[in-house]
Amino acid sequence: MSEQENGLLEESTWPEFKLSDMLLSDTVKAFHASIDNEWDSLQRSACQTAAGRALWKHVIHDPVADVLAGEKYLRSLHEKMRKDRLSNAREISGVILAVRTLWFDSKIEAALNSFNGEETQVVLLGAGMDARAYRLSCLKESKVFEVDFPKLLQMKSALLQVAMGSADEYQQLTMMAKSLTRVAADIRDDDWLEKLQKSGFVPGRNTVWVLEGILYYLSHHQAIQVLKTIATTCNLTHTVLLADFMNKSSTTLSQSTFHFYSDWPDHLLPSLGFSDVKLSQIGDPDAHFGLMHDPLNLFNRLRKLPRSVQTNPDDGTPCCRLYLVRASGSPNHIGGQ
């Protein structure tokens, strides 16, 4: 089977690994040194995500992902990808992140289109180093809110400021969203919605909630509280929720990092007041993006098994699944048990 049939790319298609002058500048190096020294692993996961977007740049256009990721995470992921390619692995490291990012991009655009041009807010909960406000033109009529820990948001602003003030390609980085507001809050606390409102979020306005790579870092109680809080805003307006959920087996990949899981988010979300739940798995027609051709790759093998199956009958490994879920809410549908 050729690489193309495998869903992998020909070697020449992979971008050459080269750090930009900006990344090698003293200022950016010093910023990233303080991230390494002062941030915990939860916050640093934001840089790992950005590294994935930077290294899958042949499918994701994120012009600032490398600066936000930093040299250490870029090198580490690049090395894993290189080894995967050398060993003809069926899955190249970072492919989940690439598909997940493209899935969220496409669903954000579809949700905004469904609001027929009405004024819309997009809230990125646990926004990390996400640069959608700078890269998605579909956000041009939307007010974007990024919620994350204060030190992460400060660092992100500082890195972006340095990049945009430079004389090289980052200078052309422009805001795509109608507006961008950064809201420093811990979503485990009770007051994060209040903080969001104080920053200009209007509960009665159409909203797309983006929870990418965040729920499983919370405890079960905290994750349910966050989802319930979002569901209460559905009482007032039309809402689209986009979120990824790990199943139980996935949390065993790192029991100290991952906590909340749901094997059946399509049952959980209606019980919290959401409706029209649509669940996809990596490799499904809407979560494919030309990267999943090989029928024998892990994701395609998992999709063939019923979701209730916990252990892969082929090799006895746990069925680690990532569910990509779109749900909606509206004043008419709220059930909230």
Q: Which residues contribute to the site for ligand SAM (CB under 6 A)? A: 42-43, 45-46, 49, 126-130, 148-149, 152, 186-188, 212-214, 217
- Shortest Å, Cβ 141 to ligand SAM: 22
Is the distance from CB of 251 to CB of 261 less than 8 angstroms? Answer: yes
- Shortest Å, Cβ 138 to ligand SAM: 17
Q: Please identify the residue of the shown chain whose CB is closest to the bound ligand SAM.
A: 128
Distance between CA 197 and CA 143 in Å, rounded?
Answer: 13
- Shortest Å, Cβ 222 to ligand SAM: 7
Query: Quick one: which of 208, 63, 57 has its CA closest to 138?
Result: 208
Is the distance from CB of 170 to CB of 22 less than 8 angstroms? Answer: yes
- Shortest Å, Cβ 216 to ligand SAM: 9
Can you list the alpha helix ranges (DSSP code H) found in the chain?
21-24, 26-38, 41-55, 65-69, 71-86, 95-114, 132-135, 150-164, 192-198, 220-234, 248-251, 265-272, 298-304
For ligand SAM, the closer of residues 186 and 194 by Cβ is 186
For ligand SAM, the closer of residues 170 and 217 by Cβ is 217
For ligand SAM, the closer of residues 150 and 331 by Cβ is 150
For ligand SAM, the closer of residues 126 and 265 by Cβ is 126
- Shortest Å, Cβ 281 to ligand SAM: 18
For ligand SAM, the closer of residues 80 and 188 by Cβ is 188
Is the distance from CB of 181 to CB of 71 less than 8 angstroms? Answer: no
Is the distance from CB of 69 to CB of 50 less than 8 angstroms? Answer: yes
